Each structure stands twice: as structure tokens, then as C-alpha cells.
């Protein structure tokens, strides 16, 4: 039994090797296609308008509200609506008259947005003429 003739087996072996090479290639191709797709999807699904909207609304609220309580009332509604309708966590923190320079007093607004995939934080300074 020891002297089994394996002369013909190399053809089979070559076949197997080529098959593995093909499968490997296919996996590689698939991966590249998938990354391409997820990259283009992530561009399209980046919540640009949501973040802009949130930012604009909170900035507006911070400018029109005279104190933190008034701002928080609006923020609370936005927070609930974002959670319920957008599946996103929206939050903000406002510091009125945080600091001032010669010409302007600044209100500091910290905005946070997260929808599980994209997280966004920004500190916005709202100048107000003294």
C-alpha cells in the first residue's frame, strides 16, 4: 500500500489549487464591491440635513429665548421628536453670556446629535452686540 502510485494526482491537485484561487479571487471582488457600496451609501445616508436642521432650530431657539428655561422647553420637544421620529439622540446645552469681548457678548451653545451610526458634536458661539 505504501507504494501507491500518485502520479496522476497532481492534476487533481492543480485543479483544486486553481479552484481555491478562484474562490479567493471571488471573495476579494465581493469585498471590494461591498466596501464601494457601503462607502457610497454612507455618503448618501450621512444625516446632513438632519444635523443642519437641528443646528438651525437650536440656534434660533437660543437666540429667541431669553433664558435657559425657555430654551429647555423647546429643546425638550425637539429631543422627544428626534428620539421618536428620527431614532436619534439630540441634545443641547446653552450657556447665556458665556463670555464677552470688546464688541460682542457670546452665548455658547453645545449641540449633540447621534443616530447610532453618525455622531456629531459642535460648540456654536452666538455673538450678540453689546
Partner 1 sequence: MVNGVRKEVYGFTTYDRECGQLFAVEGLIAALIMITAAYLAFGAVIPQSNADMHVSELQLKQMGDDMLYIMDLPDGNAGAGYLESVIYNASPNRGSSANAAAREGFNATFTNYLRKSTGATINQDTLRYSAAIYCVDDSGEVVKLPFVNYGENFGRNPAVCCARYVAADDWGLVGQSSSDTAVRLEVLIWRE
Partner 2 sequence: MGSDVSDMKKESGLISLDFIAGFAVFLLALIIVISMLPGVFVNIQNPPVNYDIAAYRTGVLLAEDSGLSSDGILSDGATSEGTAWEQVPAADVGRILRLGLAVSKETPNVLLPEKIERFFNVPAYLNLTADQYRGMLIFEEYPVNFNISFKEDGGETLSVGDRVPGGEYGFSKRYVKVKNAAELRVPAENLTISGVDVNLPEGADEFIYRNTTSFTLSYANLSDRSVSPAYRIDPKTGRTIIKIAGIDTVLGAQEGISSAAIESVRLFRDGAEVAIPQNGGNAPNKPYKPYGVPYVCVVDGVTVENGSEIPVKDAGTLEFILYPDESYFPNPDSMLEILFDMKYTCISGGTYRFIQGETDYGYDSPYLVCPYLTDGVLEVCIW
Nearest to 111, CA basis, from 59, 48, 76: 59
Q: Determine which residue in the list 67, 69, 84, 103 makes contact with partner 1, applying CB under 8 A.
A: 84
Nearest to 128, CA basis, from 88, 100, 109: 100
Residue 48 bridge partners (DSSP): none
Among partner 2, partner 1, none, what binds residue 97 when CB lies within 5 to 8 Å by partner kind? Answer: none
Residue 107 bridge partners (DSSP): 126
Q: Determine which residue in the list 1, 4, 8, 69 makes contact with partner 2, applying CB under 8 A.
A: 8
Q: In the structure grid, which three cell numbers stand for residue 69, read together? A: 428655561
- Per CB under 8 A, which region of 28-36, 72-80, 92-100, 111-119 contacts partner 2? 28-36
DSSP structure string for 87-121: --EEEEEEEEEEEE-SSEEEEEEEEEEE-SS-EEE
Q: Which residues bind partner 1 (CB under 8 A)?
A: 1, 3-5, 7-9, 11-12, 14-16, 18-20, 22-23, 25-27, 29-30, 33-34, 36-37, 40-41, 44, 49-50, 52-54, 56-57, 60-61, 64, 70, 73-74, 76-78, 80-81, 84-86
Amino acid at each position: 500500500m505504501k507504494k501507491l502510485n500518485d502520479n496522476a494526482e497532481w492534476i487533481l491537485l492543480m485543479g483544486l489549487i486553481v479552484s481555491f484561487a478562484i474562490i479567493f479571487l471571488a471573495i476579494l471582488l465581493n469585498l471590494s464591491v461591498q466596501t464601494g457600496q457601503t462607502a457610497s451609501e454612507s455618503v448618501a445616508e450621512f444625516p446632513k440635513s438632519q444635523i443642519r436642521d437641528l443646528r438651525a432650530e437650536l440656534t434660533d431657539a437660543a437666540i429667541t429665548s431669553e433664558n435657559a428655561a425657555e430654551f429647555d422647553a423647546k429643546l425638550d420637544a425637539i429631543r422627544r421628536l428626534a428620539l421618536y421620529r428620527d431614532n436619534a439622540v439630540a441634545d443641547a446645552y446653552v450657556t447665556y453670556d458665556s463670555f464677552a469681548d470688546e464688541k460682542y457678548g457670546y452665548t455658547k451653545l453645545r449641540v449633540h446629535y447621534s443616530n447610532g451610526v453618525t455622531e456629531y458634536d459642535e460648540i456654536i458661539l452666538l455673538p450678540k452686540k453689546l
